[in-house]
Amino acid sequence: MAAKNTDAHASASNSSITDSEAWQQLKAHFQQNRTLHMRDLFASNPERFHQFHIRLGDILLDYSKNRITDETRRLLIELAKTAGVESWRDKMFAGEHVNLTEDRAVMHVALRNRSQQAMYVDGLDVMPEIRQVLQKMRVFSDAVRSGEARGYNGGRIKSIINIGIGGSDLGPMVVCESMKPYAQRGLNAYFVSNADATHLQETLKQVEPESTLFVISSKSFTTQETMLNADSAKAWFLDLVGSEKAVARHFVAVTNNTEAAEDFGISADNIYQIWDWVGGRYSLWSAIGLPIALYLGMDHFEELLEGAHAMDQHFKTAPLEENMPVIMALLGVWYNNFFDAQSHAVMPYSQYLRRLPAYLQQLDMESNGKTIDREGERVDYLTGPIIWGEPGTNGQHAFFQLLHQGTKPVPADFLVPCISQNPMGNHHRVLVANCFAQTRALMHGKTTSEALDQLREEGVPDDEINTLFAHKVFDGNKPSNTLLFEKLTPKTLGSILALYEHKVFVQGVIWNINSFDQMGVEYGKELAGDIQGELSHREETHSYDSSTNALINYRKGIYYHQQDNNNYDKKS
Ligand code: G6Q
């Protein structure tokens, strides 16, 4: 029955995946099994965990608390084969132009290739260039960290400010935030992204120009917010230091647009190259990771790459049924397309991973938030889910209520380390216990008889029990994955981030969309320019819809009124 992964299969997906036999079988299977309760599945099969878990290194994925049977998994694997997951994966690793709309290769896997094997993009082995940039990053980060590279007045660099946005911010930011225990004492990393000057101003208040290194991170070196922040940071620096020459010791750039970086005033030596086959949200493994190397040291950055490489190897070689990213992707498709789940939650039970949901929001929603398929047709099924989440245990005292008793299905990932980086009293045991208790409660729920027994045991009078008990019942059957790992090391983090990258990739293949463009981001970049022009003069604006006109004119009214008052105050 198992379909072979051939190009014929891959091209079969060019009609609509929903017409395929695999999809139709899943649909029928869903109808037949939609009322199965995980509580019963666990009760009837003591081997359930054993059947539905995968281990890779120190990472354990327990996916037994999902609304699946062996047959569900078999059919989902069949769907992956029908969609050509293996052949698309191999095309990506081979440097083919899988980013169809931009006609580009997608080669972030080469950035963390720790083997001696060549990796080709358009006939060129890109590994020598990658190694060269990594070496340049090592030399510079070592020099800054050892104090050999100093500020203009001979003092040590104590603060690194990354100026970038989107993919040139979130990746290095989540790694630096998550890897704080590995950071060098006396060195701080800051990330400025927002066009709101508050972000830059509040950051600058915490640093001194003579001990600050700015990393201007922008693949294009044209992104409005980044250029605005970079210009303002440079003006702040020059204002306090007063020497153009000093800029060379305090500003470096990471970009694909060397010329623009040089025009900004950064010398060629201080420019770190990225390539057009590195997508923004997949770029933390490239020189966009320079703040990581500076903050954590190059050895730790390379451990991060090793972790990602280990996941790449697993993704490339493990059979689909034992393949972590494939299984996580298929479970996501199962809930998204058959249970109509609109969102997917990520709950890190680790304070260090508190920004992981924000990072995954970009990775997943920018990649798979698409309506047009690879053939340019509108899809007639749901694509990427809304990704959201907050660290446990905080979420438990807030939105978990909806997970337990709300009307919407929300599949969730729980991530938790076995060992804390900050052992202190009973904290970690409490944290882990809460994590396990939540996934257990979501799966098991509380039956009517359990709720009644509990109320009786608590001595609640019968008439009160009658009005109360329905509120105390928990349906359960709420799916979750648990990713349990030894400790949050750079290597483990690298593997986890790569796991999610590949999960997103597999889902994109199944939904037959291009996960590697971002027309929505570009549209946003276009829109603001016009309105900015309108805001820069006093005349009333009439050129947009009544809402946009009114908002522009309201702001103008208040802004110019305040300006006039300030001018009046100055004169009087
Ligand atoms: C990511 C997107 C987007 C991009 C930013 C910054 O995949 O393309 O988030 O990273 O718009 O772009 P630059 O690096 O060119 O400034």
Per-residue pLDDT of 108-135, as tens digits, reads 999 999 999 999 999 999 999 999 999 9
525 is catalytic: yes
Unique residue bearing structure tokens 């938790």: 416
Closest among 494, 129, 168, 115 to 300, alpha carbons compared = 494
Confidence of residue 11 (pLDDT cuts 50, 70, 90): very low
Ligand 1 contact via 224 beta carbon (within 6 Å): no
Confidence of residue 526 (pLDDT cuts 50, 70, 90): confident
Q: pLDDT tens-digit profile of 81-100? A: 999 999 999 999 999 999 99
Contact 48, 41 (CB under 8 A): yes
pLDDT over 70, % of the chain:
98
CA-closest residue to ligand 1 atom 13: 218
pLDDT in the model for residue 570:
80
Whole-angstrom distance, CA of residue 149 vs CA of residue 153: 11
Whole-angstrom distance, CA of residue 351 vs CA of residue 177: 9
Whole-angstrom distance, CA of residue 372 vs CA of residue 319: 30
Here the tokens at position 191 are: 């990330």
pLDDT in the model for residue 345:
98
Ligand 1 contact via 366 beta carbon (within 6 Å): yes
CA-closest residue to ligand 1 atom 11: 166
How many residues are there in the chain?
572
State the DSSP string of 15-48: S-GGGSHHHHHHHHHHHHHTT--HHHHHHH-TTH
Ligand 1 contact via 491 beta carbon (within 6 Å): no
Q: Which of 50, 397, 570, 571 is catalytic?
A: 397
Q: pLDDT tens-digit profile of 137-154? A: 999 999 999 999 999 999
Ligand 1 contact via 184 beta carbon (within 6 Å): no
Contact 173, 355 (CB under 8 A): yes
Whole-angstrom distance, CA of residue 185 vs CA of residue 166: 28
Q: Is the pLDDT of residue 397 over 70?
A: yes
Q: Which of 106, 516, 518 to mutate to test the pocket of ligand 1 (most atoms within 8 A of CB)?
A: 518
pLDDT in the model for residue 13:
42
CA-closest residue to ligand 1 atom 16: 218
Whole-angstrom distance, CA of residue 560 vs CA of residue 570: 15
Whole-angstrom distance, CA of residue 168 vs CA of residue 161: 12
Ligand 1 contact via 13 beta carbon (within 6 Å): no
pLDDT in the model for residue 527:
81
What SS3 state is found at 273? Answer: strand
pTM assigned to the model: 0.95
Contact 243, 286 (CB under 8 A): no
Amino acid letter at 341? A
Residue 42 to residues 65, 200, 291, 473, Cα–Cα distance (Å): 9, 52, 46, 20
450 is catalytic: no
pLDDT over 90, % of the chain:
94
Q: Which of 78, 86, 303, 366 is catalytic?
A: 366
Q: Which of 99, 104, 219 to mutate to test the pocket of ligand 1 (most atoms within 8 A of CB)?
A: 219
The partner residues of 213 in beta bridges, in order of sequence, read: 160
Q: Which atom of ligand 1 is nearest to the CA of 525?
A: 11
What's the average model confidence in pLDDT over 202-213? 98
Q: Is the pLDDT of residue 8 over 70?
A: no
Amino acid letter at 273? Q
Average per-residue pLDDT in the chain? 95
Confidence of residue 529 (pLDDT cuts 50, 70, 90): confident
Sign of CA dihedral 262, 268, 271, 275: positive
Closest among 158, 192, 164 to 288, alpha carbons compared = 164
What's the average model confidence in pLDDT over 545-567? 95
366 is catalytic: yes
pLDDT in the model for residue 147:
97
Q: pLDDT tens-digit profile of 258-268? A: 999 999 999 99
Confidence of residue 528 (pLDDT cuts 50, 70, 90): confident
Here the tokens at position 534 are: 């309108």
Q: Which of 264, 281, 519 to mutate to test the pocket of ligand 1 (most atoms within 8 A of CB)?
A: 281
Radius of gyration of the chain (CA): 26
